[in-house]
């Protein structure tokens, strides 16, 4: 079996450090490439990914000019050509260039260098997303940074437009929190929701999904305005809505189902709910078969999710909601939905032995449940 390479190893390694050193040597006379590589590689192998990026950024601070403006010009000059401004895919960029924006965030986030640093982030994000770095500026200089962000929302490069939405997200994963009001970025999202790039609209949806966890009514009202404006392609608008509301759907928020035109009290019954085993080892899968029937006189449109109530490794219980399927049932029609639900621990979900329960959730309401015993892993 081929063993996968950890992300930290593939994202930031000797080859990438040597590539940076070569680029910098070509544009900065006297740059000590050998010293730079040696300094980084003395620490890099022991570090996790974010610390590796910071390690390279610290070395840049040691080997570039102490004048931030001069060093910034060197970093921009060292960037490779950029020629995919109209690309419509979903690329994230090369981790090779992540230390550049990290350096800008930690050494260039000053009043004196504000304009130069923001301009640099705009260029750097075309090679590796500068979303994390932007948040330093949003917290330190919110008004000035949001003014730049507003201009970027109309930039011809989709990387820059995506930075606007992603960098201002209220709950950007693996990044520091920002102190902006929850609605501060709504004006730029009003510009970006109609974007032609899925890379951008996916980010807009993620941003609005963040907002739903804090202010669901603001998110629903914003989506309502966008849908009424009729500026986005219908299929893309449908994608954006469903992605924006995914957390509310899992939580069973009535307003989200009403927004989608779905009943929160569908006339359906569960005829059978079967699990393929009453005892399952952690790491294995739980087979589920559920048969539902529409009992009313109208067609029912259903969103089916699976709620796993599981014992934690350190005691107590927790829940996780897993997206199931959508189903349309004519009056009197019955249908069986099946899946195998993995019962494995993750970084944020540590399962332990004990009694678990599987709930069937239909349009936000739990309509059936079954118990099982979770055994230690094999």
Instruction: Report all structural domains of the chain as residue ranges with CATH numbers, in order of start.
Output: 64-258 (1.25.40.290), 268-375 (2.60.40.10)
Q: What is the predicted pLDDT for the residue at 3?
A: 58
pLDDT at 89 over 50: no
**Tokens coding 173:** 């994963």
The predicted model scores a pTM of 0.90
What is the rounded average pLDDT of the residues 18-29? 96
Between 85 and 121, name the one with better pLDDT: 121
> How many other β-carbons are positioned within 10 Å of the β-carbon of residue 228?
8
**According to the model, what pLDDT value does residue 251 have?**
94
pLDDT band at 85 (very low <50, low <70, confident <90, very high): low
Strand partners, 274: 289
Note the pLDDT of residue 86.
54
Confidence band, pLDDT 50/70/90 cuts, at residue 1:
very low
- Report the distance separating Cα 316 and Cα 76, nearest Å: 52
Instruction: Find how far residue 101's CA is from the centre of its chain.
Output: 19
Could you give the CA distance from residue 206 to residue 184 in angstroms, rounded to a whole number? 16
Compute the half-sphere exposure of residue 119: CA atoms within 13 Å on the CB side of its CA: 9
Mean pLDDT of the chain: 94
Please give the helix or strand (H or E) that residue 304 lies within, else none. Answer: strand 300-311
């Amino acid at each position: 079996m081929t063993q996968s390479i950890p992300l930290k190893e593939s994202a930031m390694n000797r080859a990438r450090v040597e590539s940076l050193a070569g680029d910098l040597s070509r544009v900065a006379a006297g740059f000590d490439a050998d010293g730079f590589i040696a300094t980084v590689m003395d620490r890099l192998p022991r570090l996790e990914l974010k610390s590796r990026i910071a390690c390279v950024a610290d070395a840049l601070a040691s080997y570039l000019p102490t004048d931030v403006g001069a060093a910034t010009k060197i970093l921009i000059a060292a960037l490779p050509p950029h020629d995919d401004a109209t690309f419509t895919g979903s690329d994230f960029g090369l981790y090779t260039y992540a230390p550049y924006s990290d350096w800008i965030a930690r050494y260039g986030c000053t009043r004196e260098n504000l304009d130069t640093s923001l301009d640099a982030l705009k260029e750097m994000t075309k090679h590796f997303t500068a979303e994390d770095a932007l948040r330093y500026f949003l917290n330190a200089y919110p008004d000035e940074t949001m003014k730049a962000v507003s201009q970027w929302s109309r930039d011809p490069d989709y990387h820059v437009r995506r930075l606007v939405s992603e960098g201002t997200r209220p709950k950007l994963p693996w990044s520091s929190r920002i102190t902006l009001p929850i609605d501060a970025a709504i004006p730029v999202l009003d510009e970006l929701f109609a974007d032609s790039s899925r890379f951008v609209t996916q980010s807009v949806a993620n941003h609005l999904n963040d907002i739903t966890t804090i202010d669901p009514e603001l998110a629903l009202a914003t989506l309502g305005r966008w849908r009424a404006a009729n500026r986005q392609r219908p299929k893309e608008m449908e994608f954006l809505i469903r992605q924006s509301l995914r957390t509310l759907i899992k939580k069973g928020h009535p307003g989200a189902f009403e927004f989608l035109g779905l009943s929160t009290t569908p006339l359906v019954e569960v005829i059978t709910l079967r699990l393929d085993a009453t005892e399952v080892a952690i790491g294995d899968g739980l087979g589920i078969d559920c048969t539902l029937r529409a009992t009313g006189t109208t067609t029912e449109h259903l969103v089916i999710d699976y709620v796993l109530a599981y014992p934690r490794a350190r005691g107590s219980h927790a829940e996780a909601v897993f997206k199931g399927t959508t189903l349309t049932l004519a009056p009197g029609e019955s249908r069986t939905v099946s899946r195998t639900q993995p019962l494995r621990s993750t970084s944020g979900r540590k399962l332990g032995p004990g009694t678990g329960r599987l709930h069937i959730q239909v349009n936000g309401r739990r309509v059936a449940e079954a118990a099982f015993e979770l055994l230690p892993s094999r």
